[in-house]
Structure 1
Amino acid sequence: MKTDIEIIKIQLSSNFKVMSMNFDSITNEEAMIFPDGEVNCMNWILGHLIYIRNPLLNILGEDSVWDSEKFSCYNRGEIPLERKDEFISFEELKSYLKQSQEKLEAKLNTIENFNPETIKDISTLCFHEIYHSGQLSYLRRILGKPGAIK
């Protein structure tokens, strides 16, 4: 039987793989395209995913991979189109994603169990990541790229 930690490890690993597949061959310029002039671009979605991964790291007792104030343009409730000049390059974002993945995997490999008071937050943050990961597949297709998952 899978433990709650194993389930979260599988979810985060699968999400990371799906995100990486959807980023394949996407340029920085393409990642900055806001479809219909307002739909969130790939850059913002990836930055937002990292922004929200930081609280997950914190819940698990780890430091964030970046300063949330400095990268507040990726926070929930922001209007990405109005803050696009603050976005960092897509390559940098992918590097932060990789760092967050490595930290999460390392931590999940060392803990015995979750604090019961954090399980709701952990599952909500994982759901949030799954939700936005799915958006990346549609954005990839909107950008004229073939689907990444066959």
Structure 2
Amino acid sequence: METHSNDIEIIKNQVVSNYYMMTMNTDGITHEESMVFPNGEANCMNWILGHLIYIRNPLLNILGEESVWDNEKFSFYNRGEIPLDHKDKLVSFDELKSYLKQSQDKLEAKLSTLESFKSETVKDISTLSLHEIYHSGQLGYLRRILGKPGAIK
């Protein structure tokens, strides 16, 4: 018998679907392409992917897991930072993809062991999931701006 509550199943599905969207939309993108700032100032793909990982860490923490990186060391990926001001600090796109995979493995493993969320965490978990959906979609537009075919059919 399934012991997970529906809210865990919903978040699990979103985490898996978001990861699929993120990996499809970043597939075949070079580091140089990930550093292109549309209109000379809109967020580049590198920053958005780093920002997604940055915000996945609080989700991991809420679920009782360790972050995949030191958020202080990668603070230039935080909300409110201006990516253009930090473009010399942004890490290689392959390194980001590796951190994303680590975060995914940890999230999926943790979500498969939980029976329910603590009620005081549900709103934060829901908001963090929405945040991820929002930025995952931006990666799709950035992919097209870079002249690549759409990845989600």
* Structure-to-structure mapping, 1:12-51, within 5 angstroms: 12-51=15-54
Please provide the CA RMSD for this pair. 1.0
Task: Report what 2:114 is aligned to.
Answer: 111
Runs of 4 or more above 3 Å deviation? none
The CA distance in 2 between the partners of 1:23 and 1:88, in whole Å, is: 15
Letter in 1 for 2:12: K
Of 52, 57, 61, the residue aligned with 2:60 is: 57
**1:53-104 Cα distance to aligned partner (Å, 9 max, x none):** 0000000000000000100010000000001111100000000000000000
CA distance in 2, matches of 1:21, 1:41: 17
Query: Number of aligned pairs?
Result: 150
The equivalent position to 1:92 in structure 2, one of 72, 84, 95, is 95
Structure-1-length-normalised TM-score: 0.98
Structure 2, gaps ≥5 residues long: none
Aligned equivalents of 1:107, 1:49: Cα separation in 2 = 18
Q: Percent identity?
A: 76
Distance across 2 between alignment mates of 1:22 and 1:54: 21
- Amino acid in the other structure paired with 2:70: D
CA–CA distance in 2 between the matches of 1:89 and 1:132? 19
Amino acid paired to 2:90: F
Aligned with 2:14 (options 11, 14, 17): 11
Query: CA shift at 1:127, angstroms?
Result: 0.1
Q: TM-score, normalised by structure 2?
A: 0.96
